[in-house]
């Protein structure tokens, strides 16, 4: 694994992280729908606006190779007609219907299709094929199929809302990072380098994906509280007075205060609040020690220090890679948690 940091790309920096709202298993839904309606097959298609196709998201009763058009034009075939007109459709003899395009090797007879609707928006279609008793689908089948489609529609709607919320959340994070970069020239690139390193250490320590996502945010925003520190102190090239240093020491607490309205996970806020604590208890702002210091803060501390040592400052050049690693090693158990340092060292 490389210690080389990556510059973040705002379009996908957090998108590569996990989305906690996941699609349900639509093939299970297709299977239960097909079985309850005594159909030989069932297909759920959801419209994808980016390619303007109705995509198969779940199916039952078909082999993968027999699936009719996994990507169907939105105005093509019976599914396209149902989607476009937002109307249900029951066909006793599909082969006599001009709209029907049989893309499969299967011989199909009858079908029942309903739009996947939420309020006035249509998200896709749900279709069952070939009633086992050959009498075709009835009103009761239609009623049930609409319920199944309603379930899918509310699910798709929730997913879209959740994605929208997630985008706002990520954009807020970028805005905060830009704000601190605008104020403190040293932090330009520092936030993403520390986040990149923290993620690598977290992965090395085998943290679960959900924690890695939160760790990335905590590391990215660890110095956000510097927004509340006077610029002349932040960018001072000479030694700080004791009073100025006391001011600087407030930045972890200010950071937490700034982010509190966003209702971030507690572990994110803890990572920010305690990132200047030391393993020997001589850090700030609380002076807690050892494993009392939350794990995220112990990880961010190492990632932050490594980047600080290797970066150039106005008043000094950054140390070389080997001296930086040596510096981290020497401070194991004093400034840094040994487990985190071992995770860091195993990246080399
Ligand atoms: Fe800091």
CA of 185 to the centre of ligand 1 (A): 14
Domain stops at, among 114, 133, 163: 163
CATH code, domain with 327: 1.10.3210.10
User: What mean pLDDT is predicted for residues 261-280?
Assistant: 95
Domain annotation covers residue 36: yes
Distance 203 CA to ligand 1 centre (A): 22
Domain enclosing residue 316, as ranges:
184-345
Asked if residue 196 and residue 156 are part of one domain, the reply reads no
Q: Is residue 2 part of a domain?
A: no
Domain of 64, CATH number, reads 3.30.450.40
Q: If you measure from the C-alpha of residue 218 to the centroid of ligand 1, how many angstroms do you get, rounded to a whole number?
A: 11
Domain-embedded: residue 329: yes
Q: From ligand 1's centre to the CA of 300, what distance in Å?
A: 9
Whether 296 is in a domain gets the answer yes
Instruction: Provide the percentage of residues in the chain whose pLDDT is more than 70.
Output: 89
- Minimal CA–CA distance to 249: which of 289, 282, 214? 282
340 located within any domain: yes
pLDDT in tens, 141-153: 999 999 999 999 9
Per residue in 24-82, pLDDT (tens digit) is 788 899 999 999 999 999 999 999 999 999 999 999 998 877 777 778 888 888 899 99
- pLDDT of 3: 46
Same domain, 211 and 313: yes
175 occurs within a structural domain: no
Whether 268 and 335 share a structural domain:
yes
How many separate domains does the chain show? Answer: 2
Residues 237 and 124 in one domain: no
Centroid of ligand 1 to alpha carbon of 303 (angstroms): 11
Mean pLDDT of the chain: 87
58 in Cβ contact with 27 (< 8 Å): yes
- Do both 199 and 305 map to the same domain? yes
Distance 301 CA to ligand 1 centre (A): 8
| Cα 105 to middle of ligand 1, angstroms | 64
CA 348–ligand 1 middle distance (angstroms): 24
Measure 251 CA to ligand 1 centroid, in angstroms.
7
Q: Do the Cβ atoms of 276 and 252 come closer than 8 Å?
A: yes
Residues 140-149: contacts with CB within 8 Å, 24+ apart? Answer: 141/37, 141/112, 142/88, 142/90, 142/112, 142/114, 144/33, 144/36, 144/37, 145/33, 145/37, 145/88, 145/112, 145/114, 146/88, 146/114, 148/29, 148/33, 149/114, 149/115, 149/116, 149/117
Ligand 1 centre distance from Cα of residue 254 (Å):
11
Residue 219 CA to ligand 1 center (angstroms) comes to 10
CB 194 within 8 A of CB 300: yes
Domain co-membership, 133 together with 46: yes
334 CA → ligand 1 middle, Å = 18
**How do residues 105-122 score in pLDDT, each as one tens digit?**
667 788 999 999 998 899
Residues 6+ apart with CB under 8 A from 21: 158, 159, 162, 163
Distance 120 CA to ligand 1 centre (A): 50
Structural domain includes residue 8: no
Residues 197, 308 within the same domain: yes
Give domain status of residue 215, yes or no: yes
Are 175 and 218 spatial neighbours (Cβ–Cβ below 8 Å)? no
Same domain, yes or no, for 158 and 190?
A: no
323 CA to middle of ligand 1, Å? 21
């Amino acid at each position: 694994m490389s210690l080389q940091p990556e510059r973040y790309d705002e379009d996908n920096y957090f998108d590569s992280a996990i989305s906690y709202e996941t699609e349900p298993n639509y093939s299970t839904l297709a299977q239960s729908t097909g079985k309850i309606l005594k159909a030989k097959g069932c297909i759920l298609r959801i419209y994808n606006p980016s390619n303007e196709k109705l995509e198969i998201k779940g199916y039952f009763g078909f082999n993968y190779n027999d699936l009719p058009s996994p990507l169907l034009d939105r105005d093509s075939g019976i599914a396209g007609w149902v989607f476009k007109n937002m109307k249900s459709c029951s066909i006793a003899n599909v082969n006599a219907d001009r709209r029907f395009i049989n893309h499969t090797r299967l011989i199909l007879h009858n079908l029942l299709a309903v739009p996947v609707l939420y309020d006035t928006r249509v998200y896709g279609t749900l279709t069952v094929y070939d009633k086992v008793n050959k009498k075709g689908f009835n009103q009761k089948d239609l009623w049930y199929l609409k319920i199944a489609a309603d379930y899918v529609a509310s699910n798709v709607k929730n997913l879209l809302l959740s994605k929208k919320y997630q985008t706002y959340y990520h954009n807020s994070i970028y805005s905060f990072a830009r704000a601190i970069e605008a104020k403190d020239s040293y932090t330009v690139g520092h936030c993403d380098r520390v986040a990149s390193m923290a993620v690598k250490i977290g992965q090395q320590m085998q943290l679960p994906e959900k924690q890695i996502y939160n760790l990335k945010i905590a590391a990215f925003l660890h110095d956000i509280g510097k927004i509340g520190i006077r610029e002349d102190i932040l960018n001072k090239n000479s030694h700080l007075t004791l009073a100025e240093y006391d001011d600087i020491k407030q930045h972890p607490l200010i950071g937490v205060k700034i982010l509190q309205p966003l209702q971030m996970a507690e572990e994110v806020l803890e990572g920010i609040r305690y990132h200047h604590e030391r393993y020997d208890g001589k850090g700030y702002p609380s002076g807690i020690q050892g494993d009392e210091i939350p794990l995220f803060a112990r990880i961010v501390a190492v990632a932050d220090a490594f980047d600080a040592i290797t970066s150039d400052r106005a008043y000094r050049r950054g140390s070389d890679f080997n001296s930086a690693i040596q510096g981290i090693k020497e401070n194991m158990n004093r400034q840094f948690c040994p487990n985190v340092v071992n995770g860091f060292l195993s990246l080399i």
